Amino acid sequence: MKIAIVGYGKMGHIIEEVARERGHRIVCTFDGRPEESFDSPEFRSADVAIEFSQPSVAVDNILGAFAAGVPVVSGTTGWTDSLPEIREMCRKGRGTLLYASNFSIGVNIFMAMNRWLASVMNDFAQYNPEMQETHHIHKLDHPSGTAITLARELVARVERITSWQEPKPGVDIDRRRTLEVSHVREGEVPGIHTVRWESESDSITITHSAKTRRGFALGAVMAAEWLKGRQGYFTMGEFLSDLTKTTGLFTTD
């Protein structure tokens, strides 16, 4: 398979390494705002583009790939206010995108656990949830896209929890109604996500801790392999459901 890498930072380099190990050919790599690169014969020859860039340029990168007729696997977070219009373009046949806030296979298993636990906790009002995510100092957006996904899926399944928000100085959060999602930026941490349910009697905690960025890269390359030849808008849940031949485990409402 021929792959173009859009966003050639640390993740881009790891994606290149993993893709080559899996027998794929990298036809081009670029970073920044590479409008001219989307028109190149090299980019147009790609079966799939894998896009890990910055929130400020992600939409332009995706639209540039659409214009060149190249499907996109995107893992950039912090731009999803524009996702509905991008999704509508895909549904109208004007592009192909598989977007995920996190491509790690382990994280997606963790997300499935979060959905299941939240559904159970809907019946146990003595437990109040809280969440924390920790990432490296280079990650600009917060909370992480993964944390936002976890939070939204939890809120959707627990009737007494009506919203989520980040902590603010001097502002009290009613934890019986609101999920607090805090963030930490330190060192070179690839990513840690923790969901905790607290009661007066005990606490229940689930955590996913990434050891390296390689798991994210492997998931993205596997998603690109699956996306080749497809048209439309897809999610990691659809990819993993097809991969594992399961129904309902990875898909959301």
Pick the catalytic residue from 2, 136, 139, 142.
Answer: 139
Q: Which of 60, 103, 92 is nearest to 79 (CA)?
A: 60
Pick the catalytic residue from 10, 13, 92, 135.
Answer: 135
Q: Which residue has the tokens 């330190």?
A: 186
Other beta carbons within 10 angstroms of residue 84's beta carbon come to: 9
Check if 135 is active-site: yes
Check if 139 is active-site: yes
Catalytic residues, by residue number, are 135, 139
